């Protein structure tokens, strides 16, 4: 990065492929031939469409200084001009860890309904790719003896009390694809696999809409291209404009309602009443 500019041949950047014999090797050789042809074409014509030239200082605007050569200048500039979710919310990096899931964690259908309102609480643990609503299938023992264990056991962590039962926006930390953010109601507890952004107030719908947008995904791809979506990555996302108060709120409400209706159509939901095929 000492040089003043950075050049990259986008689709032909080196990629990691598994070496093997047979068809896989042939495919790898073919990919290498295509890369070579593309690189030669780009060197001969920088206007080919996959030759990028950027000032190296541009990347310093992005937290962590990733070489996100594909990002448009306007989106890179948003990291300086936009506001982070920290401004509008409360967000802890110390989620609950039971230290013994086999003892303290259950699927909600394993617990009698009469007992759920006592020591058992809905537990957010991330789950499969799903946006807007859902993936609430676990409950955690939240009785006094259990909380004492989380507090004192060396491999456990007790969620700070000010975050107990706080609703907001949750997401799946471990993902092999796109990020997904969901509404989570009050009364829940969460662990590191399904963190919750809470106390959003009137900004809740704006942030939920933005976090599930293509723009936010582009930013996350630059901030952290790995499978683990870290708290610091979400905190680094820049919001430039508020959603229109009427239209934006209505669209978010509709997305949440559709997702909830779909989630409640199956037996794994608390609100299941009838299968859609019956």
Domain boundaries, the chain: 5-61, 87-263
- Predicted confidence at residue 90, as pLDDT, reads 83
pLDDT 10s digits, 42-76: 677 766 666 666 666 777 777 777 667 677 777 78
Per-residue pLDDT band at 212 (split at 50, 70, 90)? very high
Q: Is residue 171 predicted with pLDDT exceeding 60? A: yes
Residue 207: CB atoms within 10 A of its CB come to 24
- Degrees (nearest 5) of the Cα angle 258, 262, 265? 140
Per-residue pLDDT, 99: 93
The predicted model scores a pTM of 0.76
CATH classification of 87-263 is 3.30.70, yes or no?
Answer: no
Tell me the sheet residues that pair with 105. 140
> Span 216-229, mean pLDDT?
85
Distance of alpha carbon 55 from alpha carbon 62, whole angstroms: 13
Half-sphere exposure of 120 (CA within 13 A, CB side): 18
Looking at residue 16, its pLDDT comes to: 33
pLDDT greater than 80 at residue 178: yes
């Amino acid at each position: 990065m000492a040089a003043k500019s950075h050049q990259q041949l986008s689709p032909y950047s080196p990629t990691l492929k598994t070496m093997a014999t047979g068809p896989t090797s042939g495919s790898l050789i073919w990919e290498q031939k295509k890369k070579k042809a593309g690189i030669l074409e780009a060197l001969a014509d920088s206007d080919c469409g996959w030759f990028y030239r950027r000032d190296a200082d541009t990347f310093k605007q992005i937290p962590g200084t990733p070489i996100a050569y594909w990002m448009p200048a306007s989106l890179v500039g948003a990291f300086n001009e936009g506001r982070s979710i920290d401004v509008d919310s409360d967000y802890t990096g110390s989620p609950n860890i039971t230290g013994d899931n086999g003892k303290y964690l259950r699927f909600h259908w394993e617990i009698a309904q009469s007992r759920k309102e006592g020591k058992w609480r809905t537990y957010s643990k991330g789950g499969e790719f799903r946006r807007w609503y859902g993936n609430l299938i676990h409950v955690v023992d939240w009785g006094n003896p259990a909380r004492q264990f989380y507090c004192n056991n060396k491999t456990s962590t007790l969620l700070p009390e000010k975050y107990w039962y706080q609703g907001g926006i949750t997401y799946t930390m471990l993902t092999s694809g796109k990020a997904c953010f969901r509404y989570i109601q009050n009364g829940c507890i969460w662990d590191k696999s399904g963190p919750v952004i809470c106390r959003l107030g009137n900004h809740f719908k704006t942030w939920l809409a933005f976090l599930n947008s293509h723009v936010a995904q582009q930013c996350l791809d630059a901030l952290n291209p790995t499978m683990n979506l870290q708290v610091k990555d979400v905190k680094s996302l820049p919001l430039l404009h508020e959603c229109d108060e009427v239209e934006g709120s209505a669209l978010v409400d509709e997305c949440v309602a559709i997702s909830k209706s779909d989630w409640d159509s199956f037996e794994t939901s608390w609100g299941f009443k009838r299968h859609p095929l019956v």
